[in-house]
Amino acid sequence: MRQAGRYLPEYRAIREKTDFLTLCKTPELASEVTVQPVDIIGVDAAILFSDILVIPEAMGMHLEMIESKGPTFDDPIRSQADLARLNTEGVTDRLQYVMDAIKVTKEKLAGRVPLIGFSGAPWTLATYMVEGKGTRNFDVIKQMIYTDPAAAHDLLRILSDSVVDYLNAKIRAGCDAVQIFDTWAGILAPNDLEEFSLRYIKYICERLETNGAPVIVFAKGVNSLEKLVDLKCDVIGLDWTMDIGDARSRIGNTKALQGNLDPCVLFAPKEKIKQEAERVLENYGTGSGHVFNLGHGILPTTPVENTQYLVRCVKELSPKYHR
C-alpha cells in the first residue's frame, strides 16, 4: 500500500517545490520519497513511489493530477476509434524514468529492506482512461463494456501487454516484488469481474518473468476470494472489510495474505491501534504466510507518530504468530 505521502512533513517539503508528476519522473526525488517511510516509520519494505497512471500517460494521454479532484484525462478513450490515439509501442521505454528511480532507490536502500514495485491492473487503468475523471457510478466505462465490449477488450488487451512489459522491466531493474492493483475490480458484477478484470490479471501473471520475485495481487472489493486462488501469484492483498482469518480458511495455504488493518485505525488512540493490530494478527492466526499491512494506503491526515507506533506494535506482537 502507499506509504510515502502527504502525512509525512518530509514528503510535503518536497511536494511544495515539485508537482506530483515531476516527482514521479525525477529518479532522485522519487527515490528520496520512497525511502522516507523506511527511515521515518520503520517499515520493512519500501514501495517505489509512482502512480498507476504513468502507463496511460506514457501512451500519450494528457494526465493531470488535481489534489482535490483526483487524476483527470481531458482526452478520455470512449470508442474503438479513440484507441488509435494511444501510442502503444515502446511504452516501457518512455517509462525509463521508473527504472532509473528503481536503480537509485536500490542504491539508497543498500540492502536494508526489499523494494516493491507496482502497476495498476488493466481494468482499473481502463476505468480512469475511459471515465477521464472521478466518478461515483462508473457509468461511462460500464456503458462501454455493455455497448461496445469489443472496444473494451481491445483496450484491456493493449493495457495487459504494457503491464507485462512494465512489470518485467521493473523486476529486471531491481524490484524484489511486484504488486498488481485492481482498485476498481469491486464495482463489477460477478460475470463482468471475470470477463473484464480477472482474465487480464491472469494473463499478466502468466507472462511475468519474475526471476523469483513474489507477485502480489490486490483486487479491492473482490469478496469472492475463491476466484483468485488459481492466479499464478504468491500473495493476495485484502482490504480492511474482510476477516483475514475467514479469507485464509477460504483461500487455503496456497497463497500468502497481505493486509488488512483499516487505515483509519491510525487516527485512534495508541491503545486502540495496538488492540486492532493484534486483532488482525490473531485473526490470521499462527504460521507463515501473513504480510501485515494496512487494507489501503495511509491517509494524508494520519499522525506520523501513530504510523511509527503501529510498526513498533507489529514488530513486537508478530513473532508469536509468524514462526
**Which residue, chain included where needed, has cell 479513440?**
82
Number of Cβ within 10 Å of residue 299's Cβ equals 15
Q: Does 187 bind a second copy (CB under 8 A)?
A: yes
Based on the residue annotation, tell me whether 85 is a catalytic residue of this protein: no
Q: How far is the CB of 323 from a second copy (least distance, A)?
A: 25
Q: Say if residue 260 is preceded by a cis peptide, omega within 30 of 0.
A: yes
List 22, 79, 87, 241, residue binding a second copy (CB under 8 A): 241
Q: How far apart are CA 58 and CA 66, in angstroms?
A: 18
Q: How far is the CB of 279 from a second copy (least distance, A)?
A: 7
List 54, 178, 265, 314, residue binding a second copy (CB under 8 A): 265
Number of Cβ within 10 Å of residue 142's Cβ equals 20
DSSP state of 267: G
List 152, 242, 311, 313, residue binding a second copy (CB under 8 A): 242
**Residue among 37, 104, 67 nearest 302 (CA):** 37
Provide Rg for the chain, Cα atoms: 19
Q: Does 143 bind a second copy (CB under 8 A)?
A: yes
List 17, 81, 84, 191, residue binding a second copy (CB under 8 A): 191
List 194, 221, 304, 312, residue binding a second copy (CB under 8 A): 221
Task: Specify the residue, 18 or 223, whose C-beta has the smaller distance to a second copy.
Answer: 223
Q: How far is the CB of 201 from a second copy (least distance, A)?
A: 17
Which residue is catalytic, options 7, 11, 128, 166?
128
Residue 252's SS3 state is helix
Contact segment (CB under 8 A) with a second copy among 30-38, 98-106, 115-123, 140-148 equals 140-148
6 and 297 Cβ atoms separated by less than 8 Å: no
Q: How far is the CB of 171 from a second copy (least distance, A)?
A: 32
191 and 120 Cβ atoms separated by less than 8 Å: no
